[in-house]
Structure formats: structure tokens, C-alpha cells
Amino acid sequence: MTDDFAERLKRLEAAETARNAINKYCLALDRPDLTILETLFYRDITLRGYYVGRLEGREDALAYFAKAVSTPCKHRKHYTTNSIVEGIDGDIVTAQCYFFSCHGDPEKMNVAWGHYEYKVRLQSDGGEICDLNIILDQPVTPIGALEPAT
């Protein structure tokens, strides 16, 4: 394997690790499963956003999300798209993607959308999100009732 090929492969693996990290974050919110977030958040994570303000550290981030997902609901889904890796600097991957989320019960659903700007610290067994900025273009908004699938 040439050095050029090995370097290209390393960049592709780093980009995929970052995409996997943000998708695991969404999965953790949807289930909800805080143990996923515990392993996914870097110990010194910076979390920012419309509802979050600014939080520093894994413990504060986990406490915020524990409260955010504490209300039971039938549907909780986060979708990501248009993922872009903006750069790789050593063991830090900088990326962003759009998101759309919906949560609630069939009688009362809420939606929100925007984009995530995030950084992932590469580890030997994957990556940890070390910076997450949740930018809302549309804050959580009720949309009314959904028709049940037949």
C-alpha cells in the first residue's frame, strides 16, 4: 500500500467515524439511551444550542439530555442529511449536517429542524463528540394530530 493510498484511507475512515458519531447521537435520543451518550461524549465536551445555552463537560451534557428525554412519548425520531466533513486536523474531525426531528404522540406531535456543527475526537475504537452546536432553524413547533397508518 502506498503512503498516498494509506493517507486517503485514513481520511475516509475518519470521515466515516464522524458521521457514525452524529448518527449514534441521534439514535441515543430516539431510544432514549443515555448509556450511548455516555460512551459517545468526550469528557470535556462543549454543548451549545438554542435550548441548551452552553454546557461544558460530559456530566452536564448528560444531565441536560436526561431531562430532555424524560417525558415519555410514542414517537421520537431524529434524521440527518447532507453530512459534510469540513476538515481533519490530527485526531479532530470537524463536520456538519442538517437534521429534522419529530417527537410526541399521535395526538400531539412536535417538529424541529436545523443543523449540527460538531467535532469528533478520533479514538482507536471509534470517535467521541467533543463539540456539538445544535443550531435550530425551526424551534420545536406543534403540528397537531397524525393519522394512524392502516
Number of separate domains in the chain: 1
Look up the pTM and report it: 0.92
* CA 105 to each of CA 30, 70, 77, 126, 144: distance values in angstroms, whole numbers, following the listed order: 13, 14, 12, 34, 10
Burial class (CB within 10 angstroms; exposed 0-12, middle 13-18, buried 19+) of 34 = middle
Question: Which CATH number belongs to the domain containing residue 96 in this structure?
Answer: 3.10.450.50
Phi, psi values for residue 138, rounded to 5° = -135, 105
Residues 77-119: tens digit of each pLDDT: 999 999 999 999 999 999 999 999 999 988 889 999 999 999 9
E strand or H helix at 107? none
Q: Is 149 inside a domain boundary?
A: no
Residue 113, all three cell numbers: 429542524
